[in-house]
Chains A and B, each alone.
Chain A
Amino acid sequence: MAVLEFFGRLLLGFLEGLGRFFVLLGQTLRGVFRPWDLRALAAQMIRVGIDSVPVVFLTAFFTGGVMALQTYTGFARFNAEGFVGSVVALSMLRELSPVLTGLMVTGRAGSAMAAEIGSMRVTEQIDALVAFATDPVHYLFVPRVLAAILVVPMLVVIGNATGIAGGYVIAVRILGANPVVYLSNSFQYLEANDLWSGLIKAAVFGSLLSLIGCQQGFDTRGGAEGVGRSTTSAVVLGSLAILIADFFLTKVLF
């Protein structure tokens, strides 16, 4: 019985969290259509976007590189080395760049949102907002979620370029591939849809990681320890949501 109770509680907790997520999602969506502060949006875009560029750059570069190394080893077995560039470009655009960028931004910005809003909660700053007749979801969530939706796709474009560059450097400099063939193969087999599908994914991931980060912070209970818990769960839940959403987006839409 205790086991049943344990799993029952777990399930209830999960459903409660999910319900809460959609309530806040609704409030945020409604908030988007009320006047909001352009300066707050700009500040968040800088924090989510510009500050994430180095991380995204490094991640994408080395991922592109390792993709080139791995596919080269495999493709060399049936004399298809020429297609390494196509595989690297395709997988970066469609899959790796959006997912890895999403995960990195979750770790950087999603966690920061949870920590900031969480400490605002435990120091009564959110109560102060309400007391001054300010809707905290509108004030705190809208600029962050909008910023993430706008900025993560931009980061993915950077990731795409650096990933392809990383593959090129490894293939041409280390594995001795023909630079002209490599580059032309990289782009020859790409379709516009490959880019768009990655960017749509990126926008969805941006909304997920920011909403989860904000929600975890907003629902923080219990002092500094609570803020720590919220930050951790923002990263764990945000990453999980991105990986699960990635599967369904790939399966259903593209």
Chain B
Amino acid sequence: MAEPVRVRLSGLKKAFGPKKVLDGLDLTIEKGTSIVILGRSGMGKSVLLKHMVGLLSPDAGKVEIDGEDLWKSPSGKRNNLRSRFGMAFQEGALFDSMNVGENIAFPLRRLTKLKPADIKKRVAECLELVHLPGIESKLPSELSGGMRRRVGFARAIAHQPEILLFDEPTTGLDPIMTDALVRVIDELKRRLDPTMVTITHDLKVAFSIADRVALLNNGRIVADLPPREFESSRDPLVAAFVRGDSQLDPDAVD
């Protein structure tokens, strides 16, 4: 039996001034799937992700979460739909006026009815999951880039959302740190079994955590395949991306 659809984007269009970033994009994500969206820098991957949680509203098209139209819902309902997501931002986006513990407690205080003692327990648990136990009282400014992102992961999973979003989780990190983060994501995937959307331009990351790999190009999804098929695809755009060959891509230099 096919899994129910969690996120459905249809005919999504978004332009910033004259620049069309999304141009009639369609994408369906089923429950429990881990999809990785690849795309070159500046192709609007983050814009796509921000449409899913309703951080940006589309110029045209629909965003449906569990069958409900995000932008046709009243704002209370919209917030309810948003709370089904846990988003890990590119550089962590930790609130720098709060320490690590307060950062992770934030979604718990806002979105759950947990008591302070239970919040404390859950915060410790989440830090454990990202292999950073006991750093509750540190400030974000005291952490390294990789640690900040892992705290961002912990904050994203704290309220036990059904859908996890990772915005460029490894961009700008060294290979060792990248591998460590991929392991953390993989472990979260195995232990929490969430629906997962990751955007990146790192193939290694994509192939280690994806059930499906999609390629975003000129505002549309041009390929959406299982990792093995993606890797061996003869589609010129996919092949250009996989091999990192600018000569295969018709509009590589614009």
Contacts and interface: CB of A to CB of B under 8 A. Distances in A.
A195 B83 CA distance: 50
Contact of B55 (A120, A127, A134): A127
A12 interface: no
Nearest to A139: B110
B83 A133 contact: yes
A128 B93 contact: yes
A123 B91 contact: yes
A127 B111 contact: no
A125 B96 contact: yes
B93 A133 contact: no
A12 to B, nearest CB: 15
A128 B87 CA distance: 8
Nearest to B78: A133
Interface residues of B, number: 23
A192 interface: no
Contacts of A120: 95
B157 interface: no
A191 B107 CA distance: 53
A124 B93 contact: yes
Contacts of B159: 132
A174 interface: no
Contacts of B53: 130-131
Q: Which range holds the interface residue count of chain A?
A: 10 to 19
Nearest to A134: B110
Instruction: Give chain A's interface secondary structure class.
Output: helix
A133 B95 contact: no
Nearest to A124: B93
B80 A131 contact: no
B107 A132 contact: yes
A133 B80 contact: yes
Contacts of A116: 97
Given A125-B93, A127-B50, A128-B93, A133 B79 contact: yes
A128 B96 CA distance: 12
A130 B110 CA distance: 11
B112 to A, nearest CB: 11
B91 A131 contact: no
A127 B50 CA distance: 9
A180 B94 CA distance: 60
Interface of A: 116, 120, 123-125, 127-128, 130-134
Interface of B: 50, 53-55, 79-80, 82-83, 85, 87, 89-91, 93-97, 106-107, 110-111, 159
30 contacts: A116-B97, A123-B91, A123-B93, A123-B96, A124-B89, A125-B93, A125-B95, A127-B50, A127-B55, A127-B89, A127-B93, A128-B87, A128-B93, A128-B95, A130-B54, A130-B55, A130-B82, A131-B53, A131-B55, A131-B85, A131-B87, A132-B82, A132-B106, A132-B107, A132-B110, A132-B111, A133-B79, A133-B80, A133-B83, A133-B111
